[in-house]
Amino acid sequence: MTKSEKVAFTIGKLQELYPSIPVPLDHKDPYTLLIAVLLSAQSTDVRVNKITPLLFAKADNPYDMVKMTVEEIRDIIRPVGLSPMKSKGIHGLSKILIDKYDGKVPTDIALLEELPAVGHKTASVVVSQAFGIPAFPVDTHIHRLLFRWGFSNGKNVVQTERDAKRLFPKELWNDLHLQIIWYGRDYSPARGWNLDKDIITQTIGRKSVLNEYHKKNR
């Protein structure tokens, strides 16, 4: 298979498996998505989805959030981890949204990255899922799979994002980002990986990855 044939096969299989694509983090608008994505750093979507209803019951907009203290926010979000940094970030970015953007979440990635505790991945997820602006946020699943599939060298997420944007059509980025995440969880996890279920890696996977898998599972 040529590289373009592998890309086409991957797109087709992901569209077949995930014709409709649920967003993993529960939210109702750009602000609640921003907070949920921020909370998901080094945590799980399941854990975040259990905590955000508690937080949003008290404050689901920046105006109500700044009425809470950093300590009050921290007490609620503690189970997701990194609560000292995340609580300061949530309070700080909420104040900035009020002061600079009339309480609205900006649609520009660069402006989002200026907010406390908001990195490139978080900003990319927000513009993609909240505003429909093409972006290709790279999480651990995408980083792992693009390496397994031979689409990126796997050295770092910056290179993986650059390779993904080069390989896949821009109009598909937002869908593919979510489809690859779900595929990674369902068929190609880091642990408990069963190649028999992982049709994409079976078909187009990097030889070194396939050889290593078979060595471990002899």
pTM of the model: 0.91
| pLDDT > 90? residue 7 | yes
Q: What does the angle CA 8 – CA 172 – CA 6 come to, to the nearest 5 degrees?
A: 15
Average pLDDT over every residue of 186-198: 95
Number of residues assigned to the chain: 218
What is the distance between the alpha carbons of residues 112 and 128, in angstroms, rounded to a whole number? 12
pLDDT higher at 61 or 218: 61
Distance (Å, whole) CA 215 – CA 202:
15
Active site residue 139: yes
CATH topology of domain 3-20+137-216: Endonuclease Iii, domain 2 (1.10.1670)
Can you give the residue ranges of every domain in the chain? 3-20+137-216, 30-131
At 22 the pLDDT is: 86
Q: What is the pLDDT of residue 140?
A: 87
- Reported as a pLDDT band with limits 50, 70 and 90, residue 103 is very high
Smallest CA-to-CA distance from 105 within 133, 76, 81 is with 133
Q: Which of 76, 82, 83 is nearest to 59 (CA)?
A: 76
More confident residue, 218 or 109: 109
The reply to whether 30-131 shares the fold of 3-20+137-216 is no
Catalytic residue among 6, 121, 175, 198: 121
pLDDT at 218: 79
Q: Are the CB atoms for 125 and 74 separated by under 8 Å? A: no
pLDDT at 83: 97
pLDDT at 40: 95
Set 13, 26, 45, 139: catalytic member = 139
Judged against a pLDDT cut of 80, whether residue 75 lies above it is answered with: yes
Predicted pLDDT at 161? 96
The tens digit of pLDDT for each residue in 137-187 reads 998 889 999 999 999 997 899 999 999 999 999 999 999 999 999 999 999
- 12 near 203, Cβ under 8 Å? no
What one-character-per-residue DSSP string does 176-196 give?
Answer: HHHHHHHHHHHT--SSS--GG
The dihedral over CA atoms of 152, 153, 155, 157, expressed in degrees to the nearest 10, equals: 0
Please give the structure tokens belonging to residue 188.
């190609």
Q: Read off the pLDDT band of 12 (50, 70, 90).
A: very high
Give the pLDDT band (50/70/90) at residue 23: confident
Q: For residues 175 and 19, what is the distance between their CA atoms, to the nearest angstrom?
A: 9
**Extended beta strands in 3-64, E state:** none
Q: Under CATH, domain 30-131 is a member of which superfamily? A: Hypothetical protein; domain 2 (1.10.340.30)
Residue in this structure with the two tokens 């907010």, named with its chain if needed:
115
Mean pLDDT score, 86-104: 98
Residue with tokens 């969880």: 185
pLDDT for position 39: 98
Q: Tens digits of per-residue pLDDT, 24-47?
A: 999 999 999 999 999 999 999 999
Residue 107: phi, psi to the nearest 5? -95, 0
CA distances from 153 to 7, 139, 148, 193, 204 (A): 16, 15, 9, 20, 15
Q: Is the pLDDT of residue 217 over 90?
A: no
Q: Under a CB-based contact definition with an 8 Å cutoff, are residues 150 and 206 in contact?
A: yes
Mean pLDDT, all residues of the chain: 96
Is residue 100 part of the annotated active site? The answer reads no
As given in the structure block, the two tokens for residue 9 are: 């096969």
